[in-house]
Every structure is written in structure tokens, then in C-alpha cells.
């Protein structure tokens, strides 16, 4: 196990009606706040009224800005920064999924910075401070509700970059599974796929002696797979939604990643595709991850055999290792397909082979080494082969 820092400062309020006390919680930080959200669905099912009532009951004034899209964009972040400064707002309340929370985090660091907030995402500067952010989560999956990271697409620059800093953890997040009952099946599946990918990025590691976190990873993936199937049949079952919501949170708060090297190549590839095409992040990962697994498993078959045995329950029998691993990957992809996820780049709208070369080159150029990933270090040539295998 590697040395490390374990930090998990976000207070979670979990359960039925948890959002009813949001006003009291916000009042600890400011009396005038910025309320940030996505589309109109937030206003359709009563959550908006419950939050506004709670804020008013605590004497909180708010200025609101909706319109955050699935791949949150820099344009709205700039708008949010301007509003927070002009209105002298002291806190940001994000109501939505990972996109809204990421947008709120970017606004938070941008308000207190003299330069362009995107400097943080281009690694030109490190965030030193932020307006405090609280969240009411409505779509589980991103893990942003208790993580230090955010991902923003700069639509004018054609870049989708991530940024992480200890100052970007939300101070609190409200997780009421009832608020996820109306998430459509496709977006529920995208969120679950994203959460599984967050675990797999940590699980496929060359670090030895990490049995505790191996077992945590395996438990999280099996839980998410089980409830991904059940939620399709019972979208308004509280216990089913609760299991998903909690597993998605744990999948990305680094409980599952402590003491081990992570990979993150699939996320980097996914972000490059997401910067060019408006496709749900989870759907891109559903295509990329199985292709990546087939390409890299020979680097260290031990962890893939463990995945086959403990996660996918493949009966190895007298089979050699490669067929066992490939069977497990096939089963995993079959599961993703069953919950409505795509299997090929064509299915998500990528039809030009020439574009894949450019995507691969841009991904590799992200790092000074010219490679991405840790489990296997991928050159642009490797990335292109992975993309071609899922074409």
C-alpha cells in the first residue's frame, strides 16, 4: 500500500426529506447566495419549491442561474462569476447532478481569482481559495458531491479539462434518494456507468498489497450492477435508489482508491470525445472501458483474473487465463448493453476514422510524457488502436 493523504471533508445529509433543512445549513455560511441549477425538470417535481421555502424560512436571499448543460460550459461559468461579484453573494448552492456541481465549483474558484478561471483547468495556476459550495444532488454518478474535482468544457477553445483542489470540496451535500425517482432510465444508467468507471480507474492498478481497497472496489461494482438492473423495473423504489446514490458517492470520494496508483486513461479519452461531441459522459465510458480492458489486460493478468473471479463470477474451470479474462470483459460489456449503454463509437455518433487519430494525439499530448494512464502507459498509437477497436 502506498503512502497517501485521505481527506473527506464534505458533510453528507442523507435520506428522506433531507433537503428541507437546506436553509438552516446554508445560513451557517451566508445570508445572500447564488442558486445554480440545470434544466426545468428541477422546477417540475416540487424540489424547487421545497428548497426556496427552506431558504426563505431561514431568511436567505438568493440570485438564481439555471441552464447548466450535460457537459458544463465555460460560458455559463463566466456568467455565474459576474453575477456573484456584482451581487456580492457569499455562497453557492448547486442543485442538480455532476454538471451543475462542477459548474458551481468552477464559479466558486473563479469569483475569488483575478485571472481567467480556466487557468486552473489548463494547469496555469492552482486554486488557492473558493466561495463555499453546497449541493443538493439529483442525479448520482459523477461523485462530484463529495469530491474535489470538476470538469468544464471551454466551448470556444474546444477543450474539456478537469481540475481538482482541496478548496473545491463542497462543504455539505444533501442526498435524498427520493429526488432521483424521476431521473430517466438512460441518465440513470449513464450515472451508474460513470460510477463503475470511477471504481475501475482505481481498481486496475499495478500497486501490490491493496486487498482492502480491492474488496471495497469489488463490493461497489457488484452493488451498482445489481441495482442498475433493479432500478429499471422499479424507478421509484426508495431502497433501490438509496443503494445507487450511496454507492455512487463512495465510488468517487477516494475511499476505493487509497494507497494505490490510479489509471484514468479512459476518462481522459472520454473527456476529449466529450469536448467535441455532446454525448453523455457515462455513454462514452461504456464504449471506451471494455475496449481499453481488452487492449491492456496482458500488462498484469492477475488483477484481471481477480476481476473475472470476484466481480463477474466467471467460472474459470480448466480455461487458460486469457479466455477467462476476455469472457469477463464480454460479460461486463453485455451488462452495459443490457442497461441501455452503447458498445461502439458509431452508436454515439463518431463516424469518421480520421477524427480518431486527432483524438488520440490530443489525449497523449495532455501529459508531458506523451502518454496517459498508469496501469499501462498509452501512446497516441495505443489510444488510436483502442478507439479503432471500438469503432
Residues in contact with Fe ion by the rule CB under 5 A? 194
Q: How far is the C-alpha of 286 from the C-alpha of 197, rounded, in Å?
A: 8
Q: Which residue from 124, 131, 122 is spatially nearest to 103, judged by alpha carbons?
A: 131
Residue 198 Cβ vs Fe ion, minimum distance, rounded to whole Å: 6
Identify the DSSP state of 73. Answer: B
Residue 147 Cβ vs Fe ion, minimum distance, rounded to whole Å: 10
Run of H or E residues at 174 = strand 172-175
**CB closer to Fe ion, 25 vs 194:** 194
- All cell numbers assigned to 283: 455513454
Run of H or E residues at 37 = strand 32-37
**CB closer to Fe ion, 194 vs 384:** 194
Residue 111 Cβ vs Fe ion, minimum distance, rounded to whole Å: 25
Q: How far is the C-alpha of 309 from the C-alpha of 332, rounded, in Å?
A: 12
- Cβ–Cβ < 8 Å for 137, 174: yes
Q: How far is the C-alpha of 69 from the C-alpha of 375, rounded, in Å?
A: 32
Is residue 375 classed exposed, middle or buried when 0-12, 13-18 and 19+ CB atoms within 10 A define those classes?
Answer: buried
Task: Return phi, psi of residue 94, to 5°.
Answer: -100, 125
**CB closer to Fe ion, 19 vs 194:** 194
Angle at 247 between CA 23 and CA 294, to 5 degrees: 140
Residue 141 Cβ vs Fe ion, minimum distance, rounded to whole Å: 8
**CB closer to Fe ion, 132 vs 281:** 281
Residue 318 Cβ vs Fe ion, minimum distance, rounded to whole Å: 38
Residue 201 Cβ vs Fe ion, minimum distance, rounded to whole Å: 8
Cβ contacts of 123 within 8 Å, gap of 6 or more: none
Q: How far is the C-alpha of 368 from the C-alpha of 356, rounded, in Å?
A: 21
Q: How far is the C-alpha of 316 from the C-alpha of 325, rounded, in Å?
A: 9
Give the number of other Cβ atoms within 10 Å of residue 112's Cβ: 16
**CB closer to Fe ion, 131 vs 199:** 199
Residue 187 Cβ vs Fe ion, minimum distance, rounded to whole Å: 14
**CB closer to Fe ion, 162 vs 330:** 162
- Cβ–Cβ < 8 Å for 300, 375: yes
**CB closer to Fe ion, 102 vs 194:** 194
Residue 51 Cβ vs Fe ion, minimum distance, rounded to whole Å: 26
**CB closer to Fe ion, 32 vs 69:** 69
Q: How far is the C-alpha of 16 from the C-alpha of 19, rounded, in Å?
A: 8
Q: Which residue from 146, 173, 149 is spatially nearest to 160, judged by alpha carbons?
A: 149
Residue least distant from Fe ion (Cβ): 194
Residue 194 Cβ vs Fe ion, minimum distance, rounded to whole Å: 4
- Cβ–Cβ < 8 Å for 372, 264: yes
**CB closer to Fe ion, 19 vs 201:** 201
Residue 197 Cβ vs Fe ion, minimum distance, rounded to whole Å: 6
**CB closer to Fe ion, 194 vs 243:** 194
Q: How far is the C-alpha of 248 from the C-alpha of 270, rounded, in Å?
A: 19
Amino acid at each position: 500500500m502506498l503512502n497517501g493523504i485521505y481527506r473527506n471533508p464534505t458533510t453528507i445529509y442523507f435520506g428522506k426529506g433531507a433537503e428541507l433543512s437546506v436553509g438552516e445549513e446554508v445560513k451557517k455560511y451566508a445570508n445572500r447566495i447564488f442558486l445554480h441549477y440545470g434544466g426545468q425538470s428541477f422546477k417540475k417535481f416540487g424540489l424547487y419549491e421545497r428548497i426556496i421555502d427552506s431558504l426563505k424560512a431561514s431568511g436567505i436571499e438568493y440570485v438564481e442561474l439555471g441552464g447548466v448543460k450535460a457537459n458544463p460550459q465555460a460560458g455559463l461559468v463566466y456568467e455565474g462569476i459576474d453575477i456573484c461579484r456584482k451581487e456580492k453573494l457569499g455562497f453557492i448552492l448547486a442543485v442538480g447532478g455532476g454538471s451543475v456541481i462542477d459548474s458551481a465549483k468552477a464559479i466558486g474558484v473563479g469569483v475569488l481569482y483575478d485571472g481567467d478561471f480556466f487557468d486552473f483547468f489548463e494547469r496555469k495556476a492552482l486554486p488557492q481559495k473558493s466561495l463555499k459550495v453546497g449541493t443538493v444532488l439529483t442525479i448520482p454518478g459523477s461523485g462530484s458531491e463529495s469530491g474535489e474535482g470538476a470538469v468544464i468544457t471551454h466551448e470556444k477553445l474546444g477543450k474539456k479539462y478537469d481540475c481538482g483542489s482541496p478548496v473545491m470540496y463542497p462543504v455539505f451535500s444533501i442526498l435524498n434518494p427520493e429526488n432521483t425517482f424521476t431521473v430517466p432510465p438512460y441518465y440513470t444508467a449513464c450515472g451508474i456507468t460513470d460510477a463503475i468507471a470511477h471504481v475501475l480507474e482505481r481498481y486496475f492498478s499495478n500497486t501490490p498489497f491493496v486487498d482492502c481497497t480491492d474488496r471495497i472496489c469489488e463490493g461497489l461494482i457488484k452493488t451498482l450492477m445489481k441495482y442498475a438492473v433493479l432500478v429499471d423495473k422499479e424507478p421509484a423504489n426508495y431502497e433501490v435508489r438509496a443503494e445507487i446514490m450511496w454507492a455512487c458517492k463512495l465510488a468517487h470520494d477516494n475511499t476505493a482508491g487509497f494507497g494505490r496508483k490510479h489509471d484514468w486513461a479512459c476518462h481522459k479519452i472520454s473527456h476529449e470525445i466529450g469536448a467535441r461531441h455532446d454525448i453523455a459522459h457515462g455513454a462514452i465510458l461504456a464504449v471506451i472501458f471494455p475496449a481499453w480492458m481488452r487492449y491492456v489486460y496482458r500488462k498484469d493478468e492477475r488483477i484481471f483474473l481477480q476481476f473475472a473471479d470476484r466481480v463477474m463470477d466467471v467460472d474459470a474451470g480448466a480455461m487458460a487465463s486469457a479466455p477467462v479474462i476476455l469472457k469477463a470483459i464480454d460479460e461486463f460489456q453485455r451488462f452495459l448493453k443490457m442497461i441501455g449503454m452503447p458498445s461502439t463509437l458509431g452508436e454515439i455518433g463518431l463516424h469518421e476514422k480520421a477524427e480518431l487519430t486527432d483524438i488520440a494525439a490530443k489525449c497523449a499530448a495532455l501529459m508531458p510524457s506523451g502518454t496517459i494512464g498508469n496501469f499501462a502507459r498509452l501512446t497516441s498509437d495505443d489510444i488510436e488502436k483502442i478507439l479503432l477497436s471500438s469503432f
